Structure 1
Amino acid sequence: MRAEKHTGKKKRTWLRVIGVIFLLLILGVGAYVYNVYSSLTKAVDTMHQPIKRDKSEKRLEDITLDKKEPFSVLMLGVDEREGDRGRSDTMIVLTVNPEEKSTKMLSIPRDTRTEIIGKGYDDKINHAYAFGGVEMSMDTVENFLDIPIDYYMQINMESFQDIVDAVGGVTVNNTLDFKEGGVHFPKGELVLDGEKALLYSRMRYQDPRGDFGRQTRQRQIIQGVINKGASFSSLTKFDDIFAALGKNVKTNMTFDEMVDIQKNYKEAGKNIEQMEIKGSGTKIDKIYYLMVPESEKQRVQDELKAHLKLK
């Protein structure tokens, strides 16, 4: 049981990292993208997976990326098994505002109790994926946050290590001496491969800053990947990066939309603000749920609506 909980925590932690890396690669690679056009388009073809979903009542007109309109993305960290759709162990909503040059990142606890759209009753929010896949997840999160969800990214949680290794590891400046998973992380500049990067970012309990410290290490890893990718003397490694993304990420973004994001939104990827939604735990029929007060839900909704420039 402890091993299963350990694995689950690892996967939930790394959704934040792999998802933001994927978004920042789109936002920040810039001119390099055009030099690896063939590799990128092949990866995008593999990643692109359209969805069947009714037009959202919360987005009356289609988003226009070439007009630099704010947009949202739902990231789903999924552990799929053969013959089983699995559940979205982690759900993160990103809102991107090019005018403010900022991105907000909200983690939704998987035990959050809310209405599952399409089922008509309340349950844990991560069950929406098990019941109805990406479409039901998008509808349910959209209803919970009262904002339109424009895009999704479905991420295989085993993929992050592949991406760190594809760029040849990352360099971080460690400010806290600690051990995790049998590996010693001394203070100072460290070069980490995919496995060590996973351990480095996962550690929380030894850090006096708790989850805030873990988030700092996650941002270090993300920035390390971007820095390494932008400084390649040879572009051949992008083949490995795009291959890792193509194998482990699905999205309804098209290639043209990714080009528009890179062209019009890259500055927003440089300023990422992490948000939290708070609640209290309780048991209903012996099942644990996180109950989010209406006042807290309203606070988060208002902040995201303002960032998306919704009336």
Structure 2
Amino acid sequence: MSRHKPKKKSKALKIVLIVMLLLVIAVVGFGFSIYHNINKTAKNMHNPLDRTPEVTREANLSLNKKEPFSVLMLGVDERPGDRGRSDSIIVMTINPKKESIDMLSIPRDTRVEIVGKGVDDKINHAYAFGGVEMSMNTVEKFLDIPIDYYIKMNMEGFKEIVDAVGGVDVNNDIDFSVGKKQFSKGQISLNGDEALAYARMRYDDPRGDFGRQMRQRQVIQGVINKGANISAIWKYDDVLEALGKNVETNLSFSEMKDIQKNYKEARHKIDPYQIEGQGSKIDGIWYYLVSQEERERIQGVLKEHLNI
């Protein structure tokens, strides 16, 4: 296991996402006009769910009491007439007392029980079968932890969010190219189009999907770093426009304010995780298989961070 604008009038990624939440809450308090616009954007993004969870808490979650919580981040490729599949699946647990965030990437080909469908299939198919609700229930059962919130993002729209914060900086560990764009090894700066291409590449990486997951986490963290910087405040209108068009979440504006107040220090320490397993074909279909031992180990890590 590894611990490893658009213009004003004119668009994690694999996840989002708590990142998008941080971009919104970063500008709270900078005047009534800004506050009003944030509130309006939050309402546009808000889409509550009425679901029966697979894993329940002993008592209702209280953000005012600074209790740890979890977020499922879904990066979705949506097409006209097709719901699409979740290209990115990331679970984040936020613990304010430890001032840290655990970020778990789940390979999209992981073979799991699809809750509500009654079949074992690739985990990213849960979204295709039953949208956010089935994805949350499936991830909940697989990890045996409550999933409190979700943040869904249109993957193509992620480019707008990266551009709105002025691009991101990442530390690339391998040389590779995508089309005519060369990504050199070392510290590099990326605009929206580049960030999306960087995060999606996997075929020229000997680590395959694991390398892609690592780059996705880098871009997400880069957005967090830029979005939390005071310079992003002056671009708040572009940030809000990008968020409003591309992000959906069950987090209310009131809950966003509670998180800004009680959890903001956790963004300084993000610990990445990935699930170990092996690829294998079943009935001619390639899956990523995770042993029960590895599944229980990652469950233990997340439960400890959630204090459950």
TM tier, shorter chain? 0.7 to 0.9
Which residue of 249, 252, 257 corresponds with 2:250? Answer: 252
Distance change >3 Å, CA 210–CA 191, structure 1 → 2: same
SS in 1 for 2:44: helix
Alignment gaps of 5+ in structure 1: 1-13
Counterpart of 2:97? 99
What RMSD in Å do the two structures reach over aligned CA positions?
3.0
Counterpart of 1:5? none
Counterpart of 1:127? 125
The 1-side partners of 2:120 and 2:299 are apart by 19
Q: Which moved more, 1:100-109 or 1:83-92?
A: 83-92
1:306: how far off? 0.5
Which residue of 114, 117, 122 corresponds with 1:116? Answer: 114
1:21: how far off? 2.9
The 2-side partners of 1:109 and 1:209 are apart by 12
Counterpart of 1:156? 154
Name the one with the larger helix percent: 1
Alignment gaps of 5+ in structure 2: 1-11
Counterpart of 1:47? 45
Q: Check conservation: 1:47, 1:249, Cα contact below 8 A.
A: yes
Which residue of 271, 275, 278 corresponds with 1:277? Answer: 275
Distance change >3 Å, CA 295–CA 25, structure 1 → 2: same
Counterpart of 1:24? 22
Counterpart of 1:237? 235
The 1-side partners of 2:296 and 2:254 are apart by 35
The 2-side partners of 1:113 and 1:189 are apart by 35
Q: Which moved more, 1:221-230 or 1:118-127?
A: 221-230
What is the TM-score normalised by the length of structure 1?
Answer: 0.82
Q: Which moved more, 1:229-238 or 1:83-92?
A: 229-238
Q: How many residues are treated as equivalent by the alignment?
A: 297
Q: Check conservation: 1:27, 1:269, Cα contact below 8 A.
A: no
Q: Check conservation: 2:16, 2:151, Cα contact below 8 A.
A: no
SS in 1 for 2:279: strand
1:135: how far off? 1.0
- 1:89-128 per-position Cα deviation (integer Å, ceiling 9, x unaligned): 2211111111111111111111111211112232222221
1:173: how far off? 6.7
Q: Structure 1 residue 265 and structure 2 residue 236: aligned? A: no
Counterpart of 1:302? 300
Q: Which moved more, 1:37-46 or 1:293-302?
A: 37-46
Q: Check conservation: 2:169, 2:190, Cα contact below 8 A.
A: yes
Q: Check conservation: 2:15, 2:88, Cα contact below 8 A.
A: no
1:77: how far off? 1.5
The 2-side partners of 1:234 and 1:25 are apart by 8
Q: Check conservation: 2:112, 2:142, Cα contact below 8 A.
A: yes
